[in-house]
Amino acid sequence: MASYAQAPEFEIASVKTNTAGGRMSVEFSGDRFTAIGIGLGPLVLMAYDLNVRQISEFHPAFDDRYDIVAKAGHRVGSGEMRQMLQSLLAGRFQLQAHWETRDVPVYSLTIAKGGPKLRRSQQPEDDLPRVRTPASAGGMETSSGVSYTHESMGDFAWALSRMARIGDRQVVDNTGLEGYYDFTLTFDRNPVPPAGTEALPPPGPDIFSAVQRELGLKLESAKAPVRFLVIDHVERPSAN
């Protein structure tokens, strides 16, 4: 079981069932976490820095949406913010989980022949917590693909792992590239058609070709150890 002894906690935390609906929004500041309309699944992903493919078990409570406002007693970095979210999950949702490492098929993100075709980001660095969320790492969808701003290769591998066109494999960053980049990826974003149905002509290249042609990177089949979080127990949150 995961241990939460001595883990840092928020000084104040409010967890309420979301009744307004609307799109999920998440905001981090130096000492505050605010999420409106967030599901338990995305909250677990942020707290443990996971991709959705790394959660082994789900629960009916994952279908609900919550409004969460939590404040730390001091400014915190990304690692401490995630630990506080883990404490919130343990204390308010009674989350119990354990890790399992399995050798599974993955896609290894590496540098293609000819080198990367990436532009360094000019966005200034800040000291706010950089906790991965779809809004911060998943890029902005365009009519023909996805645009990324101030994206690390670790975040890009995480974002690729979320794409339906990748299939059911995790993408592992093996580029060795440090820093942050701005780039646009143009590819066919249509879902894979069901077996036996006629597919429309693709509006662009597949994701594998696009990554190599446009970014100078490549996705190669490989096998690697991947950590999975197995949910042993979770409940709907206790009252404030």
Least confident of 35-39, 52-56, 123-127, 230-234: 123-127
Per-residue pLDDT reduced to its tens digit, 59-110: 777 889 999 999 999 998 888 999 999 999 999 999 999 999 999 999 999 9
Per-residue pLDDT reduced to its tens digit, 199-211: 555 556 888 999 9
140 strand-pairing partners: 147
Q: What is the pTM of this model?
A: 0.79
Count of residues making up the chain:
240
70 strand-pairing partners: 13, 33
How much is the average pLDDT of 9-27? 92
CA 212 to chain centre: 22
Cα separation, 139 vs 141, whole angstroms: 6
| Top-ranked range on mean pLDDT: pick from 126-130, 140-144, 178-182, 197-201 | 178-182
Which pLDDT score, from 0 to 100, does residue 234 have? 92
Whole-number average pLDDT of the chain: 85
Locate 219 and state its tokens.
């996705």
Locate 232 and state its tokens.
């042993």
Residues 6+ apart with CB under 8 A from 108: 171, 172, 174, 219, 220, 221, 222, 224
Residues 6+ apart with CB under 8 A from 160: 107, 109, 166, 171, 207, 211, 219
